[in-house]
Structure 1
Amino acid sequence: MNAATLTQRVWQQGRYETIAMLRNGEQLVLMLVLPLIALVGLTVTPFLDGLGANRIDVAAPGVLALCTMSVGFTGQGIATGFDRRYGVLRFLSTTPLGRGGLIAGKVIAVLVVFALQVIVIGGVAVLLGWRPPVGGTILGLVLLAVGAAVFTSLGLLIAGTARPEATLAVTNLVWILFGVFGGIAMPSSRLPSQIAGIVGYLPSGALGDAARAAFLHGTLDLPAAIAILVWGAAAGIAAVRWFKWN
């Protein structure tokens, strides 16, 4: 099979994965509805007051980071877990698409859905008064794309090693815990002191800190970026090592 044919198959798989995610009502709630509620809620309540910036300027980067966790970790984790249960992964991995093509298709789906999230969530944030610097926006989007890859690796690790029911429970529970207490939607300074010191080392807290630094100040939070890359490398290696296709 030549490269052009393989590329076409990968794009077709990516299209299928994207449509499947967008047609899933539960995933749409996690990917769009809940982040929108979080964005509006953090903007109209005083939780983010006293941070030296407008509420929307602090809320928008965190909610966009939350979106990456929704699509990469929860969305792909649950979808892959049940594809594995019903033998879809095993079947597709033996077709001309191959395992590499299957994974590439899932990556395409994550990036497409993430782009839609940025358009919708970012558009609403702009309507609410968000005006991030151009340079910071470019850096922030790059960091969010890396974060999507990290959370996708974590989602695939769980989906490839646990039963689908466990994957469903774990990914949803972790999404809630990280979203509320993981430093992703709200800075660690707004969290209980007992956990504020450790959330920056979590993938959620590191991504939230890096996104806020980029979109607010146009700067790279180097410790947070390093933490994201370490989590991504560890999750990627573990997923490759222990992922089971059936």
Structure 2
Amino acid sequence: MGNELDFYGSIRTPDVRMLYDMKEVLFDREWLGQVKNMELYYMYRDLYRSESDLETMKEHNIRYDITVIPPKMLGREYVKTAGHYHPFVPGTKLSYAEVYQVLEGKATYLLQKQEDNMITDVVVYNAEKGDCVVIPSGYGHITINATGETLKMANWVASDFSSVYEPIRDLSGAAYYLLVDGFVRNPDYSEAPAIRFMETTDYPELGIFGGKDMYDLVNDSGKLKFLTRPQDYVSIFEKVIA
């Protein structure tokens, strides 16, 4: 075995995302036809430091994950995650939220909002070690490692749903690809707005601050209620993505 993660003395093995798992969402199809399957990135889910932390997470229906994305080129495109949306919270028309923090390396986060089968907003954050990025309700997202170093990032997310991959997969990826020459629009989207580039920031209303280990929110889990009850945080989401 390889790529185990030592999380505070607990050795965890990853779920591995393979190249061919993502063949539908890649830009460089000619390159894809010339290479063998390979490991792209590693996902370590449901991490906890102690049994008491685990009980707190279960009580609040949240989980803490880590993803590791080594540097790699997918032909002319930088390595990325498959990309997904979140399902609606039962009884609402709002999808679950999420929050990421860069632990090592740098990340490019691309968020896109879909309304009535149209993309109405595309936002890109370039995040460095310690930075946090909230994925508001209504946004799908992908993560790109456009550097020569390994990206290691953590996320808090609701534990009681499965990610929705089909909308991005069925359109051959997100609205934009990041290539060596920069972002290019995905022609499978009939329309897509120009990218809005935003700076990372703190989210004091949510108790999230850059440079502060967001795992420690397990000790103040009420601050993470926005993950499971986005309907109570609509005004905050509008503010953080404005």
Q: TM-score range by the shorter chain?
A: 0.3 to 0.5
Structure 1 or 2: larger helix share? 1
Report the TM-score when normalising by structure 2. Answer: 0.33
